[in-house]
Amino acid sequence: MYKQLLVEIESLVIDEKNFVVNACNFAAHLYSQMQDISWLGFYLLSHDSLLIGPYQGKPACIRLQKNKGVCWASINKRDVVKVDNVHEFPSHIVCDALANSEIVVPLIKNGVIYGVLDLDSYSLDRFTDEDGINLKLLVDILVNASDMQAIGKFYGKTY
């Protein structure tokens, strides 16, 4: 599945530099192609918090307070964070009470971190290490095609 997704995402973003535009299509395509995902989208660094970006799924938390939850754990680790059971993650931020597992991938370009891609599922243990590796490859395609400095400025990235 990921082999095909990598080709499809590349073709969706290759001719466009605007991150918002690319992230909209990225989220729409992945959400429509992946199974058992309740929410898929972006949170971008904005001053001292993470602010919601393009996504698919139900409305979610607008701002994630610094150093709380799974998304901030990924920012601080600068790596993928996979949580098999969100109820066991101490500072997990609940946006949808039915979500049970989550994976978060940081958006890093030229060593600078801009935010995260976040996926939630209503199933426990939905995500594998293989998902983490491939989602990272997909995110790399997105950030490499997009003008990340511009979106950082727009969202007020200071972190």
- Footprint of ligand SME on this chain (CB under 6 A)? 39, 60-61, 64, 69-71, 92-93, 95, 102, 118, 120
Q: Which is nearer to ligand SME, 37 or 70 (CB)?
A: 70
In whole angstroms, the minimum distance from the beta carbon of 50 to ligand SME comes to: 8
In whole angstroms, the minimum distance from the beta carbon of 93 to ligand SME comes to: 4
Nearest to 114 by CA among 73, 75, 71, 66: 75
Q: Which is nearer to ligand SME, 9 or 95 (CB)?
A: 95
In whole angstroms, the minimum distance from the beta carbon of 117 to ligand SME comes to: 11
Q: Which is nearer to ligand SME, 22 or 49 (CB)?
A: 49
In whole angstroms, the minimum distance from the beta carbon of 7 to ligand SME comes to: 27
In whole angstroms, the minimum distance from the beta carbon of 118 to ligand SME comes to: 5
Residue whose CB is nearest to ligand SME in the complex, by number: 69
Calculate ∠ Cα 42-44-49, nearest 5°: 125
Q: What is the 3-state secondary structure (H, E, C) of the chain?
A: CHHHHHHHHHHHHCCCCCHHHHHHHHHHHHHHHCCCCCEEEEEEEEECEEEEEEEEECCCCCEEECCCHHHHHHHHHCCCEEECCHHHCCCCCCCCCCCCEEEEEEEEECCEEEEEEEEEECCCCCCCHHHHHHHHHHHHHHHHHCCHHHHHHHHCECC
Q: Which is nearer to ligand SME, 54 or 145 (CB)?
A: 54
Q: Which is nearer to ligand SME, 60 or 137 (CB)?
A: 60
